[in-house]
Amino acid sequence: MWRHKFTGLIGTAFTGSAFSLFGFQSQSAPPLDDLKLQSIQVFFRHGARTPLRPIPFLPGVQWPKELMANPPASPVQYVLTGMDGKVMTRSPHDDKLQKIVFPGGAKAGHLTTVGKQQMFDLGRRLRMEYIEKRRLLNPAYSESQVYVRSTNILRTVESAQWMVSGMFDAAAKGAKPVVIHTDLDEEEILYPNVNFCIALKNVNKSFYKWVDDMPGLEKSRLAHTKILNYTPEKYDGKKLDYQELRDELSAREANGLYIPPEAKEMWNQIDSHAIEMLKLMVSGPDEKKRSTVLSLSCGAVLHMVAANMDTAGQVTDSKKMFVYSAHDSLMMALLLTLGFFDGHWPPFAADIVFELYTDKQDKKWVRILFMGRPQKLGKEQGEIISYDKFKKLIAPFSLSYKKYRRVCDVQEVEGGEVMDVIGGRKK
């Protein structure tokens, strides 16, 4: 039986009140003009790209190399370093993508001209807000002010490069290369790491055992298989995959390529099923385990956000801006956990900004924006909440990296040992 209902986690629903669960009382925050902006943390999905894998049953299109040309603006130079400060080489995952070449010569999962421009435009928007209007940062990029991190995948590295290019005068003659930090695949937390987190990997394995029970999925699949002339026998018995299909179609749409009329007509159903699948992959099918699964998907990131806020302004070399170039899976996990999910797949170049303020008494306040729009953290709360309340909000999901690794090593996402780790009884 299908048991998945998005209720009772952060308030009454993922899209509802965030504070009723914790018994928070309404408290008016100071006006934004009375607060001093101390730091921002920006998470974004990479820009538009080529598909991740070929979809041979759709009428073919050419993906020429020219689609990956640079836009008119000049990109900054960058140096990719590991978390230990040493020069980083390309990840094995990215090496696999380099071997997939589409008709026309473009490679799988590569940032396109459209995607680079999207990231440049995001940088321009952030520049207008945090350099020109708010005066938080200097117009020229400075490593002492800005920390940049990306997953070790070329499209996210280049997305960080183009976002910084749009935000700072970093492409000026004589400017130093931007340092982009990245981690090993097995240590990465900027996406739900199903390959190296055993517990999360097992959740995703179980997902495919009951995915056909999703309401309306089997009926849609039978109809779409016929319309698209998809033959599972040609693909080792694999059923029509809505996430792969959506990935192909959204990449074509973003880059202005041909989409078959029959695919356009069924887009809403394709999109709906794919969104539901992604939600379940990052949050799990069982309501009782959802808090734990979301902790595995983004708990270490939330802990990192809070840790950055803890140290803001306390040391002389504290950063004023943290940049994290990531993927749709992390964005979805954060949106669900924070209660901002609006029912749509996080689009290319979507961003979440965590702003940290202080008042005249040095009390900390937090505001969060999604794609430039402030989000209301609860039905009776304004757009700004105290940092103490923010920490209580994320506490059920936040995991230190040490705890995260311990939970990941648990074979099954059940109560018992997992909750011991999350609850702090095991270190």
Which residues face 352 on adjacent strands?
43, 370
Burial of 136 by CB count in 10 Å (0-12 exposed, 13-18 middle, 19+ buried)?
middle
User: What whole-number distance in Å separates Cα of residue 370 and Cα of residue 382?
Assistant: 15
Q: Provide the 10 A C-beta neighbour count for residue 21.
A: 16
Residue 233's pLDDT is 86
Q: Is the pTM of this model over 0.85?
A: yes
Pairs from 358-362 (Cβ < 8 Å, separation ≥ 24): 358/35, 358/36, 358/38, 358/313, 359/30, 359/34, 359/35, 359/36, 360/34
Residue 15's identity, in one-letter code, is T
Per-residue three-class SS string for 288-327: HHHHHHHHHHHHHHHHHHHHHHHHCCCCCCCCCEEEEEEC
Q: Provide the 10 A C-beta neighbour count for residue 222.
A: 12
Secondary structure element (H or E) that encloses residue 159, with its range: helix 154-167
What does each of the 427 residues of the chain score in pLDDT, given as a tens digit? 344 444 334 443 344 333 334 444 446 889 999 999 999 999 999 999 999 999 988 988 999 999 999 999 989 999 999 999 998 988 888 888 889 999 999 999 999 999 999 999 999 999 999 999 999 999 999 999 999 999 999 999 999 999 999 999 866 667 789 999 999 999 999 999 999 999 999 888 877 777 777 888 989 999 999 999 998 888 888 899 999 999 999 999 999 999 999 999 999 999 999 999 999 999 987 788 888 999 999 999 999 999 999 998 776 678 999 999 999 999 999 999 999 899 999 999 999 999 999 999 999 999 999 999 999 875 546 899 999 999 998 999 999 999 999 999 986 665 444 545 555 544 4
Nearest to 191 by CA among 177, 204, 180, 178: 204
- Is the separation of the CB atoms in 192 and 281 below 8 Å? yes
CA angle 322, 326, 331 (to 5 degrees): 100
β 146-150/178-182 pair status? parallel
Residue 414's pLDDT is 58
102 φ/ψ angles, rounded to the nearest 5 degrees: -85, 160
Q: Say yes or no: domain 26-194+301-398 is CATH 3.40.50.1240.
A: yes
Give the three-state DSSP class for 209. Answer: helix
Domain ranges across the chain: 26-194+301-398, 208-274
Residue 33's pLDDT is 93
Residue 295's pLDDT is 95
Nearest to 28 by CA among 409, 386, 400: 386
